[in-house]
Structures are given as C-alpha cells and as structure tokens.
C-alpha cells in the first residue's frame, strides 16, 4: 500500500487516535521544554541571587509539575 | 546625589510607621525595579569579598509592554472564544474532555510564554560595583553573554536617548568604552541614563584619585 493511501486510511479509521497521538507528542516536547526551563532558572538564580530567587525557582518547578500533570491527564482522559 | 562610597542612611523611624501591606508593596517594587541604587539584598555569582553593588540595572519596564499586552490577550481570549465555540459549534458537539484539555493546554502555554519573558527580563542585568562593570545578557533561555571590566579600564561613558517614549519615561542606552578588548559595554534601555553616566564618572574619578 502506498504511504499516502496508508495515511488516508489511518485518518479515516481513527482520526481521534491520531489527534491524541500528536497532542501527546506535543505535550512531551513541552515537558522537555519545562525541564530545560527549570534547569536554566536554577542557573539564572545562581548568577544573580535576589530575595525572590527561591520563589522564581519554585515557580519553575510548579510549571514543570503542571506540565507533567497535563500530559498525564491527556493520556488518561483525552 | 548621595556619595556612593558612603552607605545610604537607614531611616528606621519611617520604617516603623509603615504598615505590613506597605512594606510588602515596597519590597516587591524594590525587587522588581529596573534601577536599584546600592541594593543590599542582591548578590551576583562572581562577586568578590568587599565588592559592593552600586547600581543594578535592567531594561525599563515599558520595554516589556509588547509581551505583557500579548499575555493579556492570551489570558482573556479563551473567556470569549470557548463560550462562543460551545454556542455556535453545535454539530458535532465538542466533548467536555476535549474542551477541558484545550483550556488547560492554552493556559499552560500562556504561562510558559509569560514566565520565559519575565526570566529573560529579570536576569538580564547590568551591574556597576565599586570595582567593576558587569554585563549579564540572557539572549534566550540557552544563551548567556557575560562581560566585565575594571573601573580603571573605562575610557569613556556616553548615553544615547531620543524619541518621545524614551524621553517621557526617562530611559536610554548607556555606552561604556573600555581600554580592554571588549570594545563597548552597552546598557540598553536602562532607566535614568544620565544618573548612570554620572555615577560611573564619579566612580572613575574616585578610582583615579585612589590610584594617584
């Protein structure tokens, strides 16, 4: 079966599954981005140490956790 | 202008009359300020013992206006968009789980956008100490530029300002020419550029006096 016929067949058979697959891939990429963001925030807060530095780092960790939560939610409920 | 070699007076009498809310507000304002004169609660990575921060500069808050506006739109848009979708798109009906996911995803990405822009603004700083000038630039999340020079190696300090917005909000660029290999230090869009130039010139004068 040619590739484009196969893709058309998959889209016709399970459009919702494909949507979920792409969504999960995007959320995985976002999770990787939030991990990098958390790491970079840690580095930034060591370069310039201010009173709110721990709070900023805590926000970056919360951001990572929320990102993970959305990914898990999408896998389970979408 | 206060002498930068004398620590600023601590006005304990006025501090005691401040309410907790006022204290909180002034602390937040001080923390998020783009122009800090002799901040006592900030340190930087390569700070040497006995080295005092005279000025800590960030880009003027007005330079954040574009991303703040975009963030505002991104926050408000779903409040109108999603009810409209549920009202007008009836066939096929959007599942609740899909709608919840869109809302979660939307606000997650909006928050990421706000947080990254805030981090880049907050940690991109120019520092003037009693010994050095330090320029820390976070070009993006992964790229950092760090440059420093001693006060006694500075040859010339100039400021560049112009245009209605810069004049109205009193911000501009300060250019520091050094004798070292780094051709120029650029403090871009910093508040009160004339005060910065005056402070650096004063420091240069003190260093020359001390060296003679």
Chain A touched by B3 (CB under 8 Å)? no
Q: Which residues of A touch B44 (CB under 8 A)?
A: 47-49
The answer to whether A63 contacts B119, with C-beta atoms less than 8 Å apart, is no
In angstroms, the CA A30 to CA B67 distance is: 20
Asked which of A51-60, B18-27, B134-143 is least confident by mean pLDDT, the reply is B18-27
Question: How many angstroms separate the CA atoms of A62 and B112, rounded?
Answer: 11
Confidence band (pLDDT; 50, 70, 90) for B21? low
Q: Hey, where are the domains in chain B?
A: 65-118, 146-212
ipTM: 0.85
Query: What is the Rg, in whole angstroms, of the alpha carbon atoms belonging to chain A?
Result: 19
CA pseudo-torsion sign B87, B91, B93, B98: negative
User: Average per-residue pLDDT in chain B?
Assistant: 84
Whether B105 and A70 have beta carbons less than 8 Å apart is answered as: yes
Q: Report how many Cβ contacts below 8 Å link chain A to chain B.
A: 70
Distance, CA of B16 to CA of A70 (rounded, Å): 46
The pLDDT value recorded for residue B123 is 93
> Do the Cβ atoms of B45 and A46 come within 8 Å?
yes
- Provide, as residue numbers in chain B, all residues whose Cβ is less than 8 Å from the Cβ of A66: 108, 111
Instruction: Verify whether the Cβ–Cβ distance B31 to A50 is below 8 Å.
Output: yes
Give the helix ranges, DSSP H, for A1-78: 3-13, 15-47, 53-77
Burial of B117 (0-12, 13-18, 19+ CB in 10 A): middle
Q: Does A37 touch chain B (CB under 8 A)?
A: yes
CA of B17 vs chain A CAs: smallest distance (Å): 23
Residue B6 has pLDDT above 60, yes or no: no
Assign B69 a pLDDT band (cuts: 50, 70, 90): very high
Q: Taking 90 as the threshold, does the pLDDT of residue B168 lie above it?
A: yes
Contact A38/B at CB under 8 A: no
- Is any Cβ of chain B less than 8 angstroms from the Cβ of A49? yes
Please give the pLDDT value at position B206.
83
Residues 6+ apart with CB under 8 A from A4: none
Domain ranges of chain A: 15-77
Decide if pLDDT at B109 tops 70.
yes
Instruction: Indicate if the pLDDT at residue B17 is higher than 70.
Output: no
- For chain B, give the secondary structure using H, E and C: CCCCCCCCCCCHHHHHHCCHHHHHHHHHHHHCCCEEECCCCCEECCCCCCCCEEEEECCCHHHHHHHHHHHHHHHHHHHHHHHHHHHHCCCCCCCHHHHHHHHHHHHHHHHHHHHHHHHHHHHCEEEEECCEEEEEEECCCCCEEEEEEEHHHEEEEEEECCCHHHHHHCEEEEEEEECCCCCEEEEEEEECHHHHHHHHHHHHHHHHHHHC
How far away is chain B from the Cα of A77, in angstroms, using its nearest Cα? Answer: 7
CA distance B140 to B63: 16
Longest CA span, chain B: 85
Is residue B53 very low, low, confident or very high in pLDDT (cuts 50, 70, 90)? Answer: very high
**Rg of chain B's alpha carbons, rounded to an integer?**
23
Q: Is the pLDDT of residue B170 over 90?
A: yes
With CA atoms as reference, the chain B residue closest to A77 would be: B97
Q: Which of B94, B119, B126 should be substituted to probe chain A, the one whose Cβ sees the most A Cβ atoms within 10 Å? A: B119
């Amino acid at each position: 079966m040619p590739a484009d016929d196969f893709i058309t067949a998959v889209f016709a058979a399970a459009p919702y599954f494909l949507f979920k697959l792409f969504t999960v891939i995007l959320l995985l990429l976002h999770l990787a981005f939030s991990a990098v963001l958390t790491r970079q925030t840690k580095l930034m807060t060591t370069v310039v140490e201010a009173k709110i530095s721990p709070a900023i780092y805590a926000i970056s960790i919360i951001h990572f956790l929320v990102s993970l939560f959305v990914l898990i939610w999408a896998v389970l409920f979408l | 202008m206060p002498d930068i070699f004398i620590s600023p007076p601590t006005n304990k009498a006025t501090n005691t009359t401040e309410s907790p809310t006022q204290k909180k507000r002034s602390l937040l304002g001080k923390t998020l300020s783009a122009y800090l004169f002799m901040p006592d609660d900030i340190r930087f990575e390569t700070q040497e013992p006995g080295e005092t921060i005279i000025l800590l500069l960030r880009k003027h808050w007005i330079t954040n206006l574009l991303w703040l506006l975009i963030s505002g739109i991104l926050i408000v848009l779903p409040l109108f968009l999603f009810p409209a979708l549920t009202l007008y798109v009836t066939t096929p009906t959007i599942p609740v789980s899909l709608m919840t996911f869109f809302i979660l995803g939307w606000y997650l990405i909006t928050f990421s956008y706000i947080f990254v822009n805030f981090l880049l603004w907050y940690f991109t700083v120019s520092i003037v100490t009693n010994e050095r000038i330090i320029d820390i630039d976070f070009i993006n999340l992964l790229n950092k530029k760090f440059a420093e020079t001693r006060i006694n190696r500075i040859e010339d300090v100039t400021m560049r300002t112009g245009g209605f917005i810069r004049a109205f909000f009193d911000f501009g660029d300060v250019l520091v020419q050094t004798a070292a290999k780094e051709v120029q230090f650029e403090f871009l869009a910093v508040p009160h550029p004339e005060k910065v130039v005056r402070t650096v010139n004063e420091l240069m004068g003190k260093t020359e006096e001390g060296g003679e």
